[in-house]
Structure 1
Amino acid sequence: MPTTTWNRHHILSLADFTAAEYNTVLQTAASFQEVLSRRTKKVPTLQGQVVANLFFESSTRTRSSFELAAKRLSADTLNFAAATSSMTKGETILDTAKTYLAMGTDIMVVRHREAGVPNAIAAEMDRLGVKVSVLNAGDGQHEHPSQALLDLFTICTLIDPASPRLELLKGKKIAIVGDILHSRVARSNIWSLIASGAEVHLAAPPTLLPKLFAEYILEEAGVINQDFVISSSPTPHYFGLPRLRSAQVAQYKSPLPTPQLFLHWKLEPALQNADFVMTLRLQKERMTAHLLPSLREYHQLFGITSTKLQLCKPNVKVLHPGPVNRGVEISSELMDDPEFSLIQSQVTSGVAVRMALLYLIGSSKV
């Protein structure tokens, strides 16, 4: 296990993660991946602690992954289901959290369709003066830290299985394609990838990638907008990160180049010579307007296929956070092609990464 001291009590966002924290997560996950390859896949690291999975929103991969991760660490688990809970009788979210607190919960893994719920629960736990950690498992259109970290781990272990680390992505071109406007996965991935020194290209129709999107999300991390340089051409739009608030300066004081973020309203320039392509699910349940003419047209223009991958580097790899709309964001043939697809590897990586996150916040308790 890495010996780096972990001081983060909650994991709610990647916007202020430091390079050292990313590397600690990656190295810890690598250790647990080795544990998961053994015949006996369980360790007593969190024995006696209680992990409550408070999923106010439907989920298969994330919930199952966190539950298995907690069990592999020997923690006791409690699983919350909103449809059969007292919330149907009028109980509030904070009352629900305090109920689980009274049962002796040490870590709350929270997922909700509204942004800010994990932060609100964390603030309430802090106000009460209890040593309960909160881990954001996805909140509305805000963030999904563990998904971005497992994506990062999947890529870094592909490049260097023995020593995954942030700087491996320095100078790599990574395209994120799809419903970026509504995607919490995209936001968290942007934080981790620009911190690595990667060249990040976002591609989507204008309705799913507004021109002001980059200013908005970078401002969340304290970037001073007036230094942005926006190209006058339709594609790409370039956004640099030249100045940061003092709390984040240390994160970027490294040999890594100035992080770069490009916006495209056409797919081809984003894919050109890309090392990795992250395609995102169309968030149809979050759309409040008719933002696309049809799914068929979306697939023709922005769907990832083997033919379109010919624009990328020959050894390009494709990722998707799931669940996948086959034939919309990505062709079925490409999704199941082990030569290009890392989708199953992402699911496998998820358990190791979530073990690492639970271990880091669980073992840091005093």
Structure 2
Amino acid sequence: MKNLVSMKDLSVEQIMAILTQAQAFRDGESSNLTKKYTMTNLFFEPSTRTKTSFEMAERKLQLDVLPFETGFSSTLKGETLYDTVKSLESIGVDAVVIRHEQNNFFDELIDKVKPVIINGGDGTGNHPTQSLLDLLTIQQEFGTLENKVISIVGDIAHSRVARSNADALIKLGAKVNFVCPPEWQGEFNTVNNIDEVIESSDVMMMLRVQHERHDGKTSFSKESYHADYGLTIEREKRMKDSAIIMHPGPFNRNVEIASELIECNRSRIFKQIENGVYIRMAVIEMILKGRE
């Protein structure tokens, strides 16, 4: 694994190796890197969880982290992403995490620059490390993903989380339901009624409504969306006793999920965030170790 830009790049064996190493880091294992590396994080879209957990992962691996503020970079003067990364390569950066609004931004970088490229989210396309931390969270809960029923509910068409998880979960033998209003179906085969999947699901994975990608055309009020597609307190009561709630964040309370459920006994939302640090440690170490 030279870079990580999509879950499609990973075999089942590679996915399991990352999950195993992430769990080892969570259990206290130290890094096996023998060289000193420098990383930087280029986030051209807002981020709390992904950006800070990458930074924490890099520090736990004892890497040198070069600060980079996209809002003060030469991209504002028209510099291309390629020229930005090529400049970072020239000053000695070994690996770059990038989040960008453009789908497949990495096509102009892979095999054209020396630094490792890790995708922190591209437009509506891919978010591989989010998928990996979701897989780790589910595996911790059930011991396996095989034959587990995962229902992903929300703004499917605009969700890089849905796309990345679709690729990975199906590879690992899970059954995946996609639930959304008909106009947010995209290329997915979806169910339009959340109540059809509540009682059979092992995981209810709720997604944020991505208003910023709708060009102001969202036809739902917060109240109507919550009533029709949200995980309400009443729906939670109908879930399997063993079922869990997940959400990649950021979450809109009382829109896609009732506020009272965010920290309820079923919720693994903050555990997902914690797992993100260890997944990102595992990904970074695996890629850099391959270059030693």
Match of 1:330 among 257, 272, 278: 257
**Which position in structure 2 is the counterpart of 1:177?**
153
Query: Would you say 1:200 and 2:170 are equivalent positions?
Result: no
Indicate the residue corresponding to 2:185 in structure 1: 209
1:340 aligned residue (250, 257, 266): 266
Q: Tell me which residue corresponds to 2:203.
A: 276
User: Cα offset for 1:43?
Assistant: 4.1
Is the 8 Å Cα contact of residues 31 and 285 (structure 2) preserved in structure 1?
A: no
The root-mean-square deviation of aligned C-alpha atoms, in Å, is: 1.5
Residues 198-237 of structure 1 mapped to structure 2, 5 A cutoff: 198-210=174-186, 213-214=187-188
How many aligned residue pairs are there? 292
Answer yes or no: is the 8 Å Cα contact 1:295–1:328 preserved in 2: yes
Kindly indicate whether residue 81 of structure 2 is the aligned counterpart of residue 93 of structure 1: yes
- Name the CA distance, whole Å, in 2 between partners of 1:207 and 1:289: 14
Q: Distance in 1 between matches of 2:100 and 2:55?
A: 17
Query: Which residue of structure 2 aligns with residue 68 of structure 1?
Result: 56
Amino acid at match of 2:217: H
Q: What secondary structure, in the 3-state scheme, does the structure 2 residue paired with 1:277 have? A: strand
Percent identity at matched positions? 36
Does the 8 Å CA contact 1:44/1:74 hold for their aligned counterparts? no
1:328-350 Cα deviation digits (max 9, x unpaired): 0101100121x111011001000
Letter in 1 for 2:14: E
**How far off its partner does 1:288 sit?**
2.4
Compared CA separation, residues 353 and 20, structure 1 to 2 (3 A): same
- Give the superposition deviation at 1:72: 0.6
- Out of 276, 298, 302, the residue aligned to residue 225 of structure 2 is 298
Deviation at 1:60, TM superposition (A): 1.1
The 3-state SS of whatever aligns with 1:175 is strand
The answer to whether the aligner puts 1:79 opposite 2:79 as a matched pair is no
Deviation at 1:115, TM superposition (A): 0.6
Please state whether the residue corresponding to 2:27 is helix, strand or coil.
Answer: helix
Distance in 2 separating the partners of 1:330 and 1:361 = 36
Distance 1:109 1:133 in 2: 8
Deviations 1:228-269 (A, max 9, x none): xxxxxxxxx5xxxxxxxxxxxxxxxxxxxxxxxxx2011111
| 2:7 counterpart SS class | coil
Q: Which amino acid aligns with 2:198?
A: L
Moved more, 315-324 or 75-84: 75-84
Q: Specify which of 223, 237, 252 is matched with residue 310 of structure 1.
A: 237
> Matches of 1:270 and 1:103 in 2, distance apart?
52
Structure 2 residue ranges without an equivalent (≥5): none
When Rg is computed on C-alpha atoms for both structures, the one with the higher figure is 1
Moved over 4 A (4+): none
Q: Distance in 2 between matches of 1:82 and 1:355?
A: 23
